């Protein structure tokens, strides 16, 4: 094992494990000693309606009602576009849209006032079905080859539709943000968040601060998990508390309860994907994918989520003729957002299941069929970029087969099973496009990272990436300490404060470690060369796109969407109880190539946790809205996620192919294990149910297993 991979105790372990860490909900007073006002949001209760009137009862002294009229700047939250109002403008577009906020010193009184506000609506017909929506926020097309001709000349053409459901991030700490007016007229905004500079950009615009000298500065408090769920939402909630604090001229904090968080904040996009595949002489000759994501009422992050989704549409395979269309459709529901995998789990699921089904129909073994189409180093990617580095799937399949006995079990379980307990095993091949999608890193983010050395020889890392449980407060210092040959105690990384750190971009897509980590490594190499004892010094590094890349163009949807890829082979083995429908997972095995692990324990923790989240997504996490557009599952008693009791025998094997432009060869890690779980799980369930069945959606629950078995009896 390389030195950098050797596990160490996480820098924030003691504070978190002992309960000493201060989360945004823990502050007893504001920075200046003032009492914090509690804010509660007034939510719209109709999925689509004009607001005729809002009647607020008389407010006691020290209590405030805040709405769109109080926004000093632009009443739009800057995310990718600026279409989501901070507080609604005359109409509500989903159940849970913020109309206003009540803030004041006593929470009970705030709740009383809120309950006495009367809102009069003129209800309109909501759009709840993505197939009926007439608004595509984003519509991407790309492809290559002569698809029509390949379909004409095909021996067989297959067409299937796949769907995936919502997934709620279910972080331990719900959303929470706080804003404190500063003496200089600026605003201090902090809370549970991933991307400090995103929040700053949004709040500056909302408060009309863009051109002023003072502005917003944003600090990330200790954050109890995020998984993508705190990528964009804190920009919305941060803007709302900032407007309230601006009006009240006092600190205001909003902490969500679990029901608010589940119902009204961003979740993974539900999807419907139609896949059409041409086969000639036993080989896939063409693929057409039509991918629909349910974006919800505003566009938020859907552009980028959809890009990642459609780029992954043909999976890890070479498809000579390809046509992909992807649309993010508007519906009158909570806006969806980022969640570990960011669009890719939806399309990988469709492609892997499609390959299984077509292979079975051709009388072939699915894994053999997949291996016949797998991409290799030097091959073109879906967007006519290139797999510049090693594609180690074949070797990883060998490793996973050895660990799981996949091939032998797969043959065995393929025989007709008739008993009460029936077994199946599934295998998926996936990648994670490492780093930000497309040209974002080069054209938009333009990351900067710094090292500040103090006279006493300690070194502080200055970057804007947030510790959200993935270990950055440990891995960043590990990299810098190793290059500087310093003990780890001498190098530290605090939570980012935009008043002190440069913009090194958002905490997303595994770009923090791979991209910013490499900037820090280079900064450390320079600092070592220039090191002067007893002096304060600073070095700064700027991102530059590696020369080998084929520049990505979003207009043409062409080029290297990612510099490199992390790879996974996932196997899940299940046993179905035909009396209860319950599927017990006998084993879950993942072989993951994330490049060099910068701390093996941290990476293994990510692999295990992500795999389990993927199993939850596949098998039990069910969330949907009713005919009025209201989310029906808003607590852990009706939205089930895996608990400690559901952790199966889980084996994560690391395979290392180094990425020469990542620190010590590191690529991306966090998303990978989640993406591979759904197709592996569903293939296993499909096999256990028996050959005539073809499954097309997740989550696939025990109830549905029973319904399928009933079909068999008929
Ligand atoms: Mo992450 S899902 O890239 O915020």
pLDDT at residue number 713:
61
pLDDT at residue number 503:
97
Whole-angstrom distance, CA of residue 40 vs CA of residue 483: 48
Check pocket membership of 391 for ligand 1, CB cut-off 6 A.
Answer: no
Helix (H) or strand (E) holding 303: helix 302-311
Whole-angstrom distance, CA of residue 474 vs CA of residue 489: 11
- Residue of minimum CA distance from atom 4 in ligand 1: 228
Can you give the pTM of this predicted structure? 0.97
pLDDT at residue number 711:
81
Helix (H) or strand (E) holding 519: helix 517-530
- 441 CA from centroid of ligand 1 (Å): 14
Phi-psi region of 14 (alpha: psi -120 to 50; beta: other; left: phi over 0): alpha
Pocket test for ligand 1, best of 342, 344, 511, 672 (most atoms within 8 A of CB): 342
Widest CA span in the chain: 83
Check pocket membership of 338 for ligand 1, CB cut-off 6 A.
Answer: yes
- 346 CA from centroid of ligand 1 (Å): 15
Which residues are CB-neighbours of 444 under 8 A, at least 6 positions away?
none
pLDDT at residue number 647:
92
pLDDT at residue number 578:
95
Asked if residue 35 lies in contact with residue 85, where contact means CB atoms within 8 angstroms, the answer is: no
- 225 CA from centroid of ligand 1 (Å): 12
DSSP track, 655-686: -----TTSGGGB---TTHHHHHHHHHHHHHHH
Backbone angles phi, psi at 248, to 5 degrees: -75, -15
Check pocket membership of 233 for ligand 1, CB cut-off 6 A.
Answer: no
DSSP track, 349-415: HHHHHHHHHHHHHTT--HHHHHHTTB--TT-B-TTS-B--S---HHHHHHHHHHHH-HHHHHHHHHS
Check pocket membership of 140 for ligand 1, CB cut-off 6 A.
Answer: no
pLDDT at residue number 294:
98
Check pocket membership of 231 for ligand 1, CB cut-off 6 A.
Answer: yes
What average pLDDT values come out for the chain (714 residues) when binned by 10 residues? 96 97 98 98 98 98 98 96 95 98 98 98 98 98 98 98 98 98 95 98 95 87 98 98 98 98 98 98 98 98 98 98 98 98 98 98 97 98 98 98 98 95 98 96 97 98 98 98 98 97 97 98 98 98 97 96 98 97 97 98 97 97 97 95 93 98 96 97 97 93 92 66
Whole-angstrom distance, CA of residue 70 vs CA of residue 633: 33
Atom of ligand 1 nearest to the CA of 671: 2
Atom of ligand 1 nearest to the CA of 339: 2
- 445 CA from centroid of ligand 1 (Å): 15
pLDDT at residue number 390:
98
Name the 3-class secondary structure at 458.
coil
Asked if residue 657 lies in contact with residue 591, where contact means CB atoms within 8 angstroms, the answer is: no
Atom of ligand 1 nearest to the CA of 507: 4
- 58 CA from centroid of ligand 1 (Å): 43
- 170 CA from centroid of ligand 1 (Å): 14
Which residues are CB-neighbours of 9 under 8 A, at least 6 positions away?
none
- 511 CA from centroid of ligand 1 (Å): 10
pLDDT at residue number 583:
95
Check pocket membership of 304 for ligand 1, CB cut-off 6 A.
Answer: no
Check pocket membership of 509 for ligand 1, CB cut-off 6 A.
Answer: yes
Atom of ligand 1 nearest to the CA of 510: 3
Both tokens of 530, joined, read 């220039």
Check pocket membership of 675 for ligand 1, CB cut-off 6 A.
Answer: no
* Helix, strand and coil in the chain, % to nearest 5: 30, 25, 45
């Amino acid at each position: 094992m390389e030195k950098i991979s050797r596990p160490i105790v996480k820098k924030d372990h003691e504070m978190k494990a002992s309960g000493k860490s201060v989360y945004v909900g823990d502050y007893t007073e504001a920075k200046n000693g003032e009492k914090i006002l509690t804010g509660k949001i007034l939510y719209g209760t109709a999925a689509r309606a004009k607001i005729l009137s809002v009647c607020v009862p008389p407010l006691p002294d020290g209590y405030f009602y805040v709405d769109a009229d109080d926004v000093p700047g632009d009443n739009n939250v800057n995310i990718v576009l600026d279409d989501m109002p901070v507080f609604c403008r005359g109409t509500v577009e989903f159940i849970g849209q913020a109309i206003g906020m009540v803030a004041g010193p006593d929470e009970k009184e705030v709740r009383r006032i809120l309950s006495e506000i009367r809102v009069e609506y003129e209800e309109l017909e909501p759009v709840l079905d993505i197939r009926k929506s007439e608004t595509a926020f984003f519509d991407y097309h790309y492809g290559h080859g002569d698809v029509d001709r390949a379909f004409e000349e095909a021996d067989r053409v297959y067409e299937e539709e796949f769907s995936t459901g919502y997934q709620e991030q279910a972080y331990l700490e719900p959303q929470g943000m706080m804003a404190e007016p500063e003496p200089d007229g600026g605003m201090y905004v902090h809370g549970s968040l991933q991307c400090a500079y995103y929040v700053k950009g949004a709040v500056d615009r909302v408060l009309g601060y863009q051109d002023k000298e003072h502005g917003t500065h944003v600090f990330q408090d200790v954050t109890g998990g995020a998984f993508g769920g705190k990528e964009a939402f804190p920009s919305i909630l941060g803007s709302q508390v900032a407007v309230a604090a601006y009006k009240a001229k006092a600190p205001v904090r909003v902490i969500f309860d679990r029901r608010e968080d589940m119902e009204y904040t961003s979740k993974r996009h539900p999807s419907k994907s139609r896949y059409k595949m041409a086969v000639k002489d036993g080989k896939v000759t063409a693929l057409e994918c039509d991918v629909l994501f349910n974006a919800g009422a505003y566009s938020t992050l859907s552009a980028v989520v959809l890009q990642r989704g459609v780029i992954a549409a043909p999976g890890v395979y070479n498809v000579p003729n390809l046509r992909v269309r992807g649309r993010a459709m508007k519906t009158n529901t909570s806006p969806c957002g980022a969640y570990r995998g960011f669009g890719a789990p939806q399309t990988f699921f469709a492609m892997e299941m499609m390959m299984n089904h077509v292979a079975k129909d051709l009388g072939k073994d699915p894994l053999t069929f997949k291996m016949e189409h797998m991409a290799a180093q030097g091959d073109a990617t879906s967007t006519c970029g290139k797999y510049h580095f090693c594609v180690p799937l074949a070797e990883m399949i060998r490793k996973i087969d050895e660990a799981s006995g996949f091939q032998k079990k797969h043959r065995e379980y393929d025989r007709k099973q008739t008993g009460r307990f029936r077994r199946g095993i599934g295998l998926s091949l996936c990648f994670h496009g490492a780093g930000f999608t497309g040209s974002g890193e080069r054209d938009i983010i333009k990351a900067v990272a710094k090292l500040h050395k103090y006279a006493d020889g300690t070194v502080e890392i200055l970057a804007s990436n947030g510790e959200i449980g993935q270990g950055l407060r440990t891995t960043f210092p590990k990299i810098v300490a190793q290059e500087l040959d310093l003990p780890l105690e001498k190098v530290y990384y605090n939570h980012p404060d935009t008043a002190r750190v440069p913009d090194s971009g958002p905490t997303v897509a595994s770009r923090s470690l791979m991209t910013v980590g490499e900037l820090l490594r280079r900064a450390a190499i320079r600092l070592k060369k220039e090191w002067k004892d007893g002096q304060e010094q600073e070095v700064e590094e700027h991102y530059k796109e590696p020369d080998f890349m084929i520049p990505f163009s979003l207009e043409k949807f062409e080029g290297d969407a990612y510099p490199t890829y992390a790879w996974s082979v996932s196997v899940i083995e299940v046993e179905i109880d035909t009396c209860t429908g319950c599927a017990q997972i006998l084993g879950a095995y993942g072989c993951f190539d994330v490049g060099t692990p910068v701390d093996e324990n941290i990476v293994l923790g990510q692999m295990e946790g992500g795999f389990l989240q993927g199993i939850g997504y596949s098998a039990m996490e069910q969330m949907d809205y009713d005919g009025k557009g209201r989310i029906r599952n808003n607590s852990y008693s009706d939205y089930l996620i895996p608990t400690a009791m559901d952790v199966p025998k889980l084996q994560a094997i690391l395979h290392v192919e180094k990425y020469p432009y990542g620190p010590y060869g590191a690529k991306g890690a966090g998303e990978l294990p989640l993406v591979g779980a759904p197709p592996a799980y569903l293939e296993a369930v499909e096999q256990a149910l028996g050959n005539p069945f073809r499954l097309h959606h997740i989550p696939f629950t025990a109830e549905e297993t029973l319904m399928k078995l009933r079909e068999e009896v008929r």
